[in-house]
Structure 1
Amino acid sequence: MKDQLAFYAFFFLLYACFAALSSAQDFDFFYFVQQWPGSYCDTKRSCCYPTTGKPAADFGIHGLWPNYNSGSYPSDCDPDSPYDASQIKDLIRRMQEKWPTLACPSSEGHHFWEHEWEKHGTCSESILDQHSYFQAALNLKNKINLLQILKDRGIEPDGGNYEVSDIKDAIKDATGFTPWIQCNVDEGRNSQLYQVYMCVNTSATNFIECPVFPKGRSCPQEIEFPVF
Structure 2
Amino acid sequence: MKTYDFAMVKILVPVSYLSVLCVSQDFDFFYFVQQWPGDTKKKSCCYPKSGKPAADFGVHGLWPNFNNGSYPSDCDPNNPYDQSQILDLIGCMEEEWPTFSCPSNNGTKFWAHEWNKHGTCSKSVLDQHDYFQATLNLKKKVDLLQALQTAGIEPNGTFYKLDNIGEAIKNGIGYTPGITCNGDASGHSQLHEIYFCVDTCGSNFIECSLFPNGRCSSEVEFPSF
- After TM superposition, the score normalised by the length of structure 2 is 0.88
Please report how far the alpha carbon of residue 218 of structure 1 lies from its aligned counterpart in structure 2 after TM superposition: 3.4
Measured against aligned partners, the alpha-carbon deviations of 1:155-200 in whole angstroms (never above 9, x if no partner) come to: 0000100011011001111222110100001122221000000000
Query: How is 1:13-162 mapped onto 2 (pairs within 5 angstroms)?
Result: 24-39=24-39, 41-43=40-42, 45-162=43-160
Measured against aligned partners, the alpha-carbon deviations of 1:78-100 in whole angstroms (never above 9, x if no partner) come to: 00000000000000000000000
CA distance in 1, matches of 2:180, 2:150: 21
5+ residue gaps, structure 2: 1-19
**Hey, which bits of structure 1, 4+ residues long, moved more than 6 A?**
none
Please report how far the alpha carbon of residue 211 of structure 1 lies from its aligned counterpart in structure 2 after TM superposition: 1.8
Indicate which of 218, 221, 224 corresponds to 2:221.
224
CA distance in 2, matches of 1:175, 1:48: 30
CA distance in 1, matches of 2:195, 2:101: 20
CA distance in 2, matches of 1:85, 1:118: 12
5+ residue gaps, structure 1: 1-19
In the alignment, what sits opposite 1:190?
188
Is the Cα contact below 8 Å between 2:147 and 2:173 reproduced in 1?
no
Please report how far the alpha carbon of residue 217 of structure 1 lies from its aligned counterpart in structure 2 after TM superposition: 5.0
Cα RMSD over matched residues?
1.6
In the alignment, what sits opposite 2:6?
none
CA distance in 2, matches of 1:213, 1:37: 21
SS in 2 for 1:177: coil
In the alignment, what sits opposite 1:11?
none
CA distance in 2, matches of 1:217, 1:196: 10
- After TM superposition, the score normalised by the length of structure 1 is 0.87
CA distance in 1, matches of 2:134, 2:86: 12
Percent identity reads 62
